[in-house]
Structure 1
Amino acid sequence: MFPMWPRTKAHSVHLLTASGAVFAMFSLLAAVEANWSWMFLWLLAALFVDGIDGPLARRWDVQLHAARFDGVLLDLIIDYLTYVFIPVYALYASGLVPGWIGWGILTVVPFASALYFADTQMKTEDASFEGFPGCWNMFALVVFVLQPAPGVTLAVALVLSAAMFLPIRFVHPVRTVRWRPLTLTIALAWMVLAVMAAWGEFGLSGAWAWAFGLTSTYLLAAGVAQQMLDRLRV
């Protein structure tokens, strides 16, 4: 009865994905003005879009009904801006990683991430990530909240940059089936805590800070835990 409806729904997913570019621009403007709270709020809005456009694309057969636009390529372009470019700029411009330490992060992280985002084998058979998936937006927010010593931030950034190219598994909160209910719950909890942190000028304390740290640790380590369990069963 409505032959255009499947195509309309499919193209609406591309429009949703493309909205992430607008959020990236707003985030960049906030970063240039050193308004770090709003910068992260816009990045979190982009992260939310990135979390829901994939399931919608698969549900509404975007590759069939809106094949003119490459949703994967569109997603990667926006992700590089919101996951890598803007957060790394923020780490340096905020003064949290000053001097040669900041220049080290400015050099290594965008370089390694550009290679990783072009990796055609970044996904495993269970839809997890092969190597650290370049979530520097999440990393930067943790640094803003915890404010570790600059040397510690650099060391962790170098380890995670190397981990992009190692056979280490990282879960996809939506697509990795194993532990998905738990992972989705923790990912949503992390998002709520992240909004609280950004809105409150990164002043999480007490139980909220512990919850933020624990949820971050789970999202970082769940894939490795799954790998270890698989090896123990062999």
Structure 2
Amino acid sequence: MILRHKALSVHLLTATGAVLSMLAMLAAVDGDWEMMFLWLVVAFVVDGIDGPLARRYSVKDNSPRYDGVIMDLIIDYLTYVFIPAFALFKSGLLSGWTGWFAIFVIVYGSVLYFADTGMKTKDNSFSGFPGCWNMVVLVLFATRPHWTVILFIVVILTIAMFRNIKFVHPVRTKRWRAITLPMTIAWVIFAGWAAWVDFHPASWAIWGLVISSIWLTVAGAVQQMVPEQPRRRA
């Protein structure tokens, strides 16, 4: 397969995220939250794979007709923001005014963040919470905290989108990647398993989700507090 065909195949892989988001939305409309999250986890895996492939095959040079960045942002907004916000509202985790407040804050704040040209730092991390509401809402479904805790998390993370707080990219942030990448893979496994067992509270996957989520949430901020030491020349 010649290089331009490989580059085009990466675009086609990215585009499958739109189909996965539709499958997730159909499950959400039916209130089948477990199946919805399974589709979102698959979409998350595709999103994690297509980036490295795009860089490997230089899609901007070898398949320039399609803009992979725009395609990725459209799909990410659906799978990371829109569908999880809908699930948070319709599931009853937040009821009354709290549910309305949460979905408006999530979708409005996230669309501004996704359009922010300064969302990436020099080390390919994110400046501010990167709107990964799919991960947040899945953990909330699994742990079922009190509504005040959920509302607090939504408000804090929304504010964090527009603050100079670093959040690691699980693949592209080189510092501590030896920990972050395995933690991300573990999160995917725990998330898929938790959804598969209908978020049973006794499942070991719940604890794995919580631990891996904490790391992915705080690792970037810790890096800011602990500056990287320059390497000594031999």
TM range (shorter): over 0.9
Q: How does 1:48-197 map to 2 (within 5 A)?
A: 48-197=45-194
Supply the AA of the counterpart residue of 2:71: L
- Quote the residue 2:200 is aligned against: 203
- Quote the residue 1:229 is aligned against: 226
Supply the AA of the counterpart residue of 1:137: N
Quick one: distance in 2 between partners of 1:204 and 1:173?
A: 27
Quick one: distance in 2 between partners of 1:206 and 1:29?
A: 26
8 Å CA contact 2:43, 2:79 repeated in 1: yes
Deviations 1:175-195 (A, max 9, x none): 000011211101001110000
Supply the AA of the counterpart residue of 2:133: W
- What SS does structure 2 have at the residue aligned with 1:230? coil
1:207 Cα offset (Å): 4.5
Quick one: distance in 2 between partners of 1:37 and 1:207?
A: 17
Deviations 1:145-199 (A, max 9, x none): 0111112111110110010010000000000000112111010011100001110
8 Å CA contact 2:194, 2:205 repeated in 1: no
Quick one: distance in 1 between partners of 2:217 and 2:198?
A: 24
**Cα separation, partners in 2 of 1:99 and 1:208, compared to 1, 3 Å:** same
Quick one: distance in 2 between partners of 1:194 and 1:90?
A: 16
Quick one: distance in 2 between partners of 1:74 and 1:182?
A: 29
1:231 Cα offset (Å): 8.6
Quick one: distance in 2 between partners of 1:184 and 1:113?
A: 24
- What SS does structure 1 have at the residue aligned with 2:153? helix
**Cα separation, partners in 2 of 1:224 and 1:232, compared to 1, 3 Å:** farther
Structure 1 window deviating more from structure 2 (207-216 vs 184-193): it is 207-216
Supply the AA of the counterpart residue of 2:91: S
Q: Equivalent of 2:43, from 13, 33, 46?
A: 46
1:232 Cα offset (Å): 9.8
8 Å CA contact 1:101, 1:151 repeated in 2: no
Supply the AA of the counterpart residue of 1:91: L
In structure 1, runs of 5+ residues without a counterpart are none
Supply the AA of the counterpart residue of 1:33: D
Supply the AA of the counterpart residue of 1:155: F
**Backbone CA RMSD of aligned residues:** 1.4
Q: How does 1:1-20 map to 2 (within 5 A)?
A: 5-20=2-17
In structure 2, runs of 5+ residues without a counterpart are none
Quick one: distance in 2 between partners of 1:155 and 1:111?
A: 17
8 Å CA contact 2:194, 2:203 repeated in 1: no
